[in-house]
A and B are shown apart, each in its own frame.
Chain A
């Protein structure tokens, strides 16, 4: 057998797996998004209706727009909060900073947990009867003692954001520590000697040099926030009502629970649009030449 044939043969299994699990479902979901596509209606998976699923989402589905709004607010809040906390932590933990690197090991712990597990544990901790946070908040801020966290639309949303920020801080912090560590120390020292205060060194010297890494971190986190599903599913299951129903959750519910696989596919493809822009921006930052 010639090397040429052999190398394709060796790669073939991997290509097949990727095709079967990623490419084919992608194509199939695009096809389904143009069909009636109801799981309980035989033949409807091949019954084409053009763009009707898409127009339906836009025109007649308040729940769709609700989930768009929830996802948007959720994304903005989690991205901003996670980035700010991670940046603050990274500044403290960077080598030569105030804390030794032993803390960095502890830091990775939340990131090692699966999002579903984070969801479950947060639900447990906010349980009105035996939740740790519920009790803690009750003791520290007595007016909050009787609050039923996950039953209130705003508070449930806040808990979701909190769980997400908590889970993502480690990863962002580690990336930012790397970015900070690669800033030449002499530039920071030169600025100090030149007369800059700590804040000005940060604003004029650290931040501009960290900008490329920061941009990558923000884009990545935005992608992850937009996709959020498992954590919400385990924590609030979109509720109360639809207060925490993100797009992914909405898609899952329509597709799997209501069996409207055609409609769910069309919404999924609508979500692809912002993702493409973000991925493009990400790729530009990561693979740019300079």
Chain B
């Protein structure tokens, strides 16, 4: 077990910058998730930690060891790949046993450890099969078992659930979480799925264009986004972002429709962020402003209303009994206690321009 420290890590291919001068300290036993859209540098970061990619610049420390020049085999990490990376010509047993065999583990120690790893991922009955005879979820378990059969200093997981169907993904997610709390090994986990990140992580690093946008606990990332990108990336549905201006304590959208009272300095150009849960849909004329229903969606456990207000779409989450028709006019009210303001130019959160920031503690 070990802490991991990335210092000014950079990866460039020619003029393309994959990871741009990033530093993170990952504590021992921490579960860190690198979250971001594809091409943001999260997988590259992980591959550099594994030793599969050479950093252009910067340092990688695992424990108290500088591993920049160490081969993957000498880094004492275990990795789960997106496409599993199972050895197709080996049985499940041999796949799981391979990390032990190749590290010259005494033969009598291999079998019990493979058995135990297989039990932990509920694969005991499949040890004689070849990977191609298994379902996607089972293959994923083999990959997991192969990772946990040793006790590495560090787990690396590269979108391990993204090839599974939606239902399996949810159950495997819970299993992963359970397993990680049980094993207590430092883990770096790469995903583009913000729900995976929120549910699994001790801390999340949200990345974009090779730069970490925000590093924090899931609560911090959700409640206190530092910029427009994080605000728009985290949460399902994503946070509503409305361009407009503030005058005399009222925020109006770009076309001049007043939307909410806000205790902030006047500002000619600002982006207002509000989560779907903080918008209430009521009858026409009863809310702060009126809006037209653009789409009504019933997900079963709740309802989502997309409304047109001030020329922009806003998503409202209602309870499961809410019923509205398309093109119906309704009233909406934004919860003034849970609003975020951003600078539309830089994307940065506006905290010190006289805005009463409701979320900062």
Which A positions have Cβ atoms within 8 angstroms of B?
Answer: 184, 186-187, 189-197, 200, 204-205, 208-209, 211
Q: Which of B82-90, B190-198, B287-295, B318-326 lines the interface with chain A? A: B82-90
Give Cα A208 to B87, complex, Å.
10
How far is the CB of B62 from the nearest CB of chain A, in Å? 13
Identify which of A189, A194, A205, A211 contacts B99 (C-beta below 8 A): A194
Question: B146 contacts A194, CB within 8 Å?
Answer: yes
Nearest A residue (CB) for B79: A193
How far is the CB of A100 from the nearest CB of chain B, in Å? 14
Nearest B residue (CB) for A207: B89
Nearest A residue (CB) for B132: A290
Nearest A residue (CB) for B76: A195
Interface centre among B79, B87, B89 (most CB of A within 10 A): B87
Give Cα A13 to B146, complex, Å.
61
When distances are taken between beta carbons in the complex, the residues of chain A under 8 Å from B50 are 189, 193
Interface centre among B77, B78, B102 (most CB of A within 10 A): B102
B103 within 8 A of A: yes
When distances are taken between beta carbons in the complex, the residues of chain B under 8 Å from A200 are 102
Give Cα A248 to B108, complex, Å.
56
How far is the CB of B101 from the nearest CB of chain A, in Å? 9
How far is the CB of A133 from the nearest CB of chain B, in Å? 41
Question: A186 contacts B81, CB within 8 Å?
Answer: yes
CB within 8 Å for A190 and B81 given contacts A204-B102, A205-B87, A209-B89: yes
When distances are taken between beta carbons in the complex, the residues of chain A under 8 Å from B77 are 193
B218 within 8 A of A: no
Question: A191 contacts B71, CB within 8 Å?
Answer: no
Question: A189 contacts B89, CB within 8 Å?
Answer: no
CB within 8 Å for A187 and B73 given contacts A193-B79, A194-B102: no
Which residues of chain B in 156-205 are interfacial with respect to chain A, using CB atoms and an 8 Å cutoff?
Answer: 156
When distances are taken between beta carbons in the complex, the residues of chain A under 8 Å from B84 are 186
Identify which of A189, A190, A195, A208 contacts B103 (C-beta below 8 A): A195
CB within 8 Å for A192 and B89 given contacts A184-B83, A197-B73: no
Q: 5 extra interchain contacts, Cβ-Cβ under 8 A, other than A192-B73, A193-B51, A209-B88?
A: A186-B82, A189-B52, A191-B98, A193-B77, A194-B78
Question: B88 contacts A187, CB within 8 Å?
Answer: yes
15 residue pairs from A and B, CB less than 8 Å apart: A186-B82, A186-B84, A186-B85, A187-B88, A189-B81, A189-B85, A191-B102, A192-B52, A192-B71, A193-B78, A193-B79, A194-B102, A195-B102, A197-B73, A204-B98
CB within 8 Å for A193 and B88 given contacts A186-B83, A204-B98, A204-B102: no
When distances are taken between beta carbons in the complex, the residues of chain A under 8 Å from B136 are none
How far is the CB of A52 from the nearest CB of chain B, in Å? 51
Identify which of B52, B88, B98 contacts A194 (C-beta below 8 A): B98
Chain B interface residue count, Cβ-Cβ cutoff 8 angstroms: 25
Which residues of chain B in 42-92 are interfacial with respect to chain A, using CB atoms and an 8 Å cutoff?
Answer: 50-52, 71-73, 75, 77-79, 81-89
When distances are taken between beta carbons in the complex, the residues of chain A under 8 Å from B99 are 194-195
Question: B87 contacts A193, CB within 8 Å?
Answer: no
Give Cα A4 to B60, complex, Å.
73
When distances are taken between beta carbons in the complex, the residues of chain A under 8 Å from B71 are 192, 197
Nearest A residue (CB) for B99: A194
Question: B81 contacts A191, CB within 8 Å?
Answer: no
Nearest B residue (CB) for A290: B132
How far is the CB of A200 from the nearest CB of chain B, in Å? 6
Question: B86 contacts A195, CB within 8 Å?
Answer: no
When distances are taken between beta carbons in the complex, the residues of chain A under 8 Å from B81 are 186, 189-190
Give Cα A190 to B72, complex, Å.
10
Nearest A residue (CB) for B104: A195
Question: A196 contacts B85, CB within 8 Å?
Answer: no
Give Cα A195 to B79, complex, Å.
11
When distances are taken between beta carbons in the complex, the residues of chain B under 8 Å from A211 are 89
When distances are taken between beta carbons in the complex, the residues of chain A under 8 Å from B87 are 187, 190-191, 204-205
When distances are taken between beta carbons in the complex, the residues of chain B under 8 Å from A190 are 79, 81, 85-87, 146
CB within 8 Å for A187 and B85 given contacts A193-B78, A195-B73, A200-B102: yes
How far is the CB of B107 from the nearest CB of chain A, in Å? 16
Give Cα A209 to B98, complex, Å.
16
Give Cα A196 to B86, complex, Å.
14
Give Cα A187 to B88, complex, Å.
8
When distances are taken between beta carbons in the complex, the residues of chain A under 8 Å from B51 are 192-193
When distances are taken between beta carbons in the complex, the residues of chain B under 8 Å from A186 are 81-85
When distances are taken between beta carbons in the complex, the residues of chain B under 8 Å from A208 are 89
Nearest A residue (CB) for B105: A195
CB within 8 Å for A193 and B83 given contacts A204-B98, A204-B102, A208-B89: no
When distances are taken between beta carbons in the complex, the residues of chain A under 8 Å from B78 are 193-194
The 8 closest A-B pairs by CB, nearest first: A186-B85, A190-B85, A194-B99, A192-B72, A208-B89, A193-B79, A195-B73, A186-B81
Nearest B residue (CB) for A190: B85
Give Cα A184 to B139, complex, Å.
15
Nearest B residue (CB) for A197: B73
How far is the CB of B63 from the nearest CB of chain A, in Å? 17
When distances are taken between beta carbons in the complex, the residues of chain B under 8 Å from A204 are 87, 98, 102
Identify which of B73, B75, B89 contacts A196 (C-beta below 8 A): B73
